[in-house]
Amino acid sequence: MRLSIEKKDLIQHIQHLAAIVPTKITTPILTNYLIEVSAETNSIQITASDLDITAIVKFPAAVIEGGTIAVSARHLNEIISSMPDDVINLWKNEDLLVIQCGKIDFKLLCADHTLYPIIPVTNLKGAIKMDAELFQRMVNKTSFAVSSDTNRAVLTGVCWKIFENEHLMAATDGRKVAEIKVRDNFMQNQEMAKDSEDNIFGDGKESYVEKIIPVKTLSFIQKIYNAQIKELNLVMEHNKMMFAYGEYTVFTNILEHKYPEYQKAFVHDLPNCLIIDREKLKTAIRRVALVAPDDNLRTRFEIDSDRFEINTSNRETGDAKQFMEDYSYQGKPTNVSFNYKFMLSILEAVDTDKVKILLGSPKDPLMIYNEMNPENQELTFLLMPLRS
Amino acid sequence: MKKIIHVDMDAYFAAVEIRENPSLKGKCVIVGGPPNSRGVVSTCSYEARKYGIHSGMSSHQAWKLCPEAVFVHSSFNIYKEITNQIRDIFARYTDIIEPMSLDEAYLDVTENKVGIEDAAVIARRIKDEIFDTTKLTCSAGVSYNKFLAKIGSDLRKPDGLVVISPENAQEILFSLPIGKFHGIGKVTAARMKKLGIHCGADLYEWDLKNLTKIFGKAGQFYYQVVRGIDNRELITTWEPKSISCEHTFNTDIFDMEDLTGALKLISQRLSERMIRKNLAGNSLVIKIKYDNFELQTRSCPLPEFTCDAQTLYKYAQQLLVMNWDCKRAVRLLGLGLNKLDNRECGSDDQLTLL
């Protein structure tokens, strides 16, 4: 194996792959990249995998001689990013990968590449084509709300539910919900016939498909998003998915559970409605929360039509309050306590300059919306309050 | 120099049972599970000890050794009540009390509330007051550190009072059989005997270097105590590191539903204990003992500090399903919470939607 490549070309393609390499080492070979170099296609293909997710990137390089190696992912990333902006030569010398750039020489010990798990074959037959920007937007609006509790695996993924004329993504950790619904019949425009064997709606009994995609997979796709590349191809199998995007291919297991019925928690008839500038609200919450209690991050709205106070009180540090101006409020006086970090994460995901917050009693959830929804889209956020 | 008293009630639970039911007097009384159960001996009267019965032994084995023994269920509420009476007596003399269990405690009487110089006099008075109040006897050891006080209380049981002064300490330690050293268990004692260490005098011959080489950190402890050196302070406040509950089944269990049923009850009991102690934990441990006594423990983090029975059960069930080797029958199931925090349960105020 022998090839030459510009440093910036190489680093650009491997910088995100590192996120796939497992941190908990259960299978030592997975701490390596599998690097396959082909002289016929003049390309290099690098694979990282944690068994649940396998990410592959394939891009052009000046190949003199083909070959396959496995080499420490962390070291390769660190070595390549430390190199000057110049051409890097890589070749295999017995058990060593030589990385040479100008007067710099590294020799990296190779692992036994035959131990690397078998990589699935990229087959785009029957792939669903989707607008990459829309997919990216849907992930951006929801993935922050996933749970990190590995005991409830199903909540560590984002639920993607596809109906015939609309589809939605949703995530929740039981304390907050983020959902984006898009009216789009992209499924009908697909090449595959609805009644073919590959029909993702299965045998026609179900009117929708539900796939729970691990958040790790989605963050990787977020990282490799490139506004220049418009089309995202995806293939769904019952417990796996494949994403093909530009030079990248991602195979991922999906979480095989029934996603909880979070919609039941949505309250549609909350009596009070607050509309306020989103940036001003964020700034005020951040400021007041400087002294919020560390354990539950409790911050509180006290509101009626002529007074809106954001406050917090902390037995150990002190308290803070701010009166808000320039807001519109319709409804009865009420108050509600919430975890300010959750609130900020939701306000971050809202698109419009002004945010619409519906409130009820101190025990009711807060329903948070864009002031105006974009065409054909509906964003819904829910925040469960803190017991007052 | 400090003045420490170690007070140890004589055959405590058995003595209490005899006091409550005088017809048991002079008989082999065994407090613990009945012999046809899987219970163990918790305490037994001195009469029963003559048959070789000791606490921790299985009730069945005890019954074989002494078939005429009277088995009595433990009545913890009475024991606790009496223990409180005894601690009230201690408190008249000093506030520096380290309770080791219901029936034993260390007292530091270097500075005491009654202004008595001689710790032996205090010990005498405590013994008398305990007997007047509870009609129970205890043994007391008086010395200048915890280790020697403990040795002292053990030396002349029952109803003993032994003073170990710096002058006679070494002599007592030299003649003490190695198994009687507090902190040297059965296993270590056996190892020491193999090395030719049978009593304190033998242990004294060993230098620090060799002791630590063989016994590690404990070697240093052995080196010091055999010289009568023990600088441990009394620990008067004590914070639990973990709280647990377990259940031994009457017959080994093979059935998942029975196990989860038991787990539910254990979760509830654990939760009740946590609430009573005003504690919450965020690391759950399951303990599974198989029919061959092999013990398996596994833990998982909890998403937040909790003591809620429902939550505990939910995670405990997952732990059980993931870790139970379903080809094997289960003898005992236990649940514990670690990483305790002194917050009220439910101070995690976050409401949830699922």
Q: Is B180 buried (19+), middle (13-18) or exposed (0-12) by CB count in 10 A?
A: middle
The mean predicted confidence, pLDDT, of chain A is 92
Q: How far apart are CA B199 and CA B183, in angstroms?
A: 14
Confidence at residue B323, expressed as pLDDT on a 0 to 100 scale = 87
Query: What average pLDDT does the segment A232-257 reach?
Result: 93
Query: What average pLDDT does the segment A81-92 reach?
Result: 95
Q: Is pTM beyond 0.90 here?
A: no
Confidence at residue A196, expressed as pLDDT on a 0 to 100 scale = 47
Confidence at residue A301, expressed as pLDDT on a 0 to 100 scale = 96
Chain A: residue whose CA lies nearest to B343: A295
The set of long-range contacts for A8-12, using a CB threshold of 8 Å and a minimum separation of 24, is A8/A85, A9/A59, A9/A61, A10/A61, A10/A80, A10/A88, A11/A77, A11/A80, A11/A81
Q: Which of helix, strand or coil describes residue B344?
A: coil
Mutate to test the interface with B, among A295, A343, A386 (most CBs of B within 10 A): A295
Q: Which helix (H) or strand (E) holds A220?
A: helix A215-224
Antiparallel, parallel or unpaired: β A62-65 and A32-38: unpaired
Q: Is the pLDDT of residue B140 over 50?
A: yes
Residue A315 to chain B, least CA–CA distance (Å): 14
Is A160:A262 a contact under the CB 8 Å cutoff?
no
B304 catalytic per annotation: no
- Report which of residues A3 and B243 the model is more confident about: A3
B343 touches chain A (CB under 8 A): yes
CA torsion sign, B323 to B326 to B327 to B329? positive
- Which residue of the set B47, B68, B104, B171 is catalytic? B104
Residue pLDDT, tens place only, A308-364: 999 999 988 899 999 999 999 999 999 999 999 999 999 999 999 999 999 999 999
Are B354 and A177 within 8 A, CB to CB?
Answer: no
Q: Is the pLDDT of residue A195 over 50?
A: no
CATH 3.90.650.10, applies to A266-383: no
Domain with CATH 3.10.150.10 in chain A: 2-115, 128-261, 266-383
Structural class in CATH, domain A128-261: alpha beta
The 10 Å CB-count burial string (b at 16+, else e) for B82-112 is bbeebeebbeebbebbbbeebbbbbbbbeeb
Residue pLDDT, tens place only, A258-270: 999 999 999 999 9
Residue with token string 């956020």: A381
Mutate to test the interface with B, among A151, A259, A297, A367 (most CBs of B within 10 A): A151
- C-alpha distances (whole Å) from A63 to each of A44, A45, A71 are 8, 12, 18
Distance of CA B214 to the CA centre of its chain: 27
Q: How many residues does chain A have?
A: 388
B163 touches chain A (CB under 8 A): no
pLDDT tier at A200 (50, 70, 90 boundaries)? low
Q: What is the token pair recorded at A228?
A: 């220049």
Helix then strand then coil, in percent of chain B rounded to 5, is 40, 25, 35
Residue pLDDT, tens place only, B69-127: 899 988 888 999 999 999 999 999 998 999 988 889 999 999 888 888 899 999 999 99
Residue A59's CB is within 10 A of a number of other CB atoms, namely 16
What CATH number matches the domain at A2-115, 3.40.50.2300, 3.40.50.20, 3.30.460.10, 3.10.150.10?
3.10.150.10
Q: Is the pLDDT of residue B347 over 70?
A: no
Q: What residues pair up with B8 in beta bridges, in sequence order?
A: B104, B139
Q: How far apart are CA B253 and CA B330, in angstroms?
A: 5
Confidence at residue A179, expressed as pLDDT on a 0 to 100 scale = 97
Is A98:A107 a contact under the CB 8 Å cutoff?
yes
Angle at A214 between CA A208 and CA A219, to 5 degrees: 115
A339 touches chain B (CB under 8 A): yes
Complete domains list, chain B, with CATH:
1-156 (3.30.70.270), 169-225 (1.10.150.20), 242-349 (3.30.1490.100)
DSSP, res B177? B
Peptide bond into B158 cis (omega under 30): yes
